[in-house]
Amino acid sequence: MSAHTLPLSPAPGASSRPTRRVRLMIWLNVVGSTGLVAIEVFALSASFDWALSGLLGLPGSFTLGLAIVLLAASAAITWAFARRALIAETKLASAPGPNRD
């Protein structure tokens, strides 16, 4: 083994379960990316509600109802993204690398 390569193969008898540090990195990646997506989706729904009610001159009660529907859809999209991000990060952490067995 040269000085420029790191051993990526697990030690004999080592578990394939990610270490505590890897699990922490997975959660940080999922929380960070979900936070960014949530901000974008909620801002999009709020701006769409504001623009639509302004352009069409909708009454306040209709605007409030539309906001509730759009925010519920935004929450569902954010939840779906978080689930898929966690699945993807977990699969990536347990995938064999180029120098692994």
Span 50-76, pLDDT tens digits: 999 999 998 988 999 999 999 999 999
Span 17-58, pLDDT tens digits: 678 888 899 999 999 999 999 999 999 999 999 999 999 998
**DSSP state string for the chain:** --TT----SPPTT--SSPPHHHHHHHHHHHHHHHHHHHHHHHHHHHHHHHHHHHHHT--HHHHHHHHHHHHHHHHHHHHHHHHHHHHHHHHHHHS--TT--
Domain boundaries, the chain: 38-94
Give the predicted TM-score (pTM) of the model: 0.72
Q: From the centroid of its chain, how far is CA 65? A: 27
Inform me whether the pLDDT recorded for 6 exceeds 50: no
Q: How confident is the model at residue 11 (pLDDT cuts 50, 70, 90)?
A: low
